Chain A
């Protein structure tokens, strides 16, 4: 007669050990409404759709910077500028973002110096003119005109895609090609590709 009672007590004791003490959970220091919003891992594999996404951008940047650093082409910290990055896919993709990631990693590696790209030139010219033509600054402190360092290498990229679709499957193949040209000689000194295949099945 006593065994079922003992069993119940033992089960209850076990459950309380497993689940821990039944104290009220503490609230996190956040303000939010009904919808569930959370910060996630920016480096996680993004599989929301098979369109170009953050993981593709990160994988391209990592492959290109790794390949560039490994070759040793940046011996002596040469100067590099970013030229065009063509998006030949059917999607809207901000290719500047890919090049920014590549540039950031290369600058942080300390192996290379970047000069202003064409798109970044106007703010630099404006600042030089402000310092030299406004009459506001001491002559000894102004940046001199005509002293910019020209780039030895120019970086050019291209992103293409091939999309195949059937009733149940969509396959997207991306290829990012990056070339490093010697500006003076016009020769390709380094080139690499990153291929990405993404397949969606219904």
Chain B
């Protein structure tokens, strides 16, 4: 019995670590654009707005903290072309504090006109 339990536990550890645990308040359409590493711990991306002025993709994302504790969020945008290849060398990671029950909007502009898609990579300090 114990042996069987240990095997089950080992199988549990084998679950991929990169499983995305988005906050339930993050809409599925937004979650599809967000690459979350680890747990969201109450941090949600409530909305993402995309515009294309002057043939350049511009994205704004609203972060919200559902809990009373301040959260440290690391994020960056990854720009993709029409076939899914990364455009440019990649943005630098940014650090941002989302205050308890607060909201923060972040914005980024694609480095070239060939960028047609993006991913928001984020990590909430555990």
Q: Show the binding face of A for B, using Cβ within 8 Å.
A: 6-7, 9-11, 13-14, 17-18, 41, 43-45, 47, 54-55, 58-59, 62, 65-67, 69-72, 75, 105, 108-111
Contacts and interface: CB of A to CB of B under 8 A. Distances in A.
B53 interface: yes
Contacts of B74: 45
A43 B53 contact: no
A108 B111 contact: yes
B84 interface: no
Dominant SS at the A interface?
helix
B50 interface: no
Interface string B1-13: 0110011011001
24 contacts: A9-B3, A10-B3, A11-B2, A11-B6, A14-B6, A43-B91, A43-B92, A44-B93, A45-B74, A45-B92, A47-B95, A54-B92, A55-B95, A58-B92, A62-B92, A65-B109, A65-B111, A66-B107, A66-B108, A66-B109, A72-B53, A75-B54, A108-B112, A110-B113
Interface of B: 2-3, 6-7, 9-10, 13, 53-54, 56, 58, 74, 76, 88, 90-95, 107-113
B6 A69 contact: no
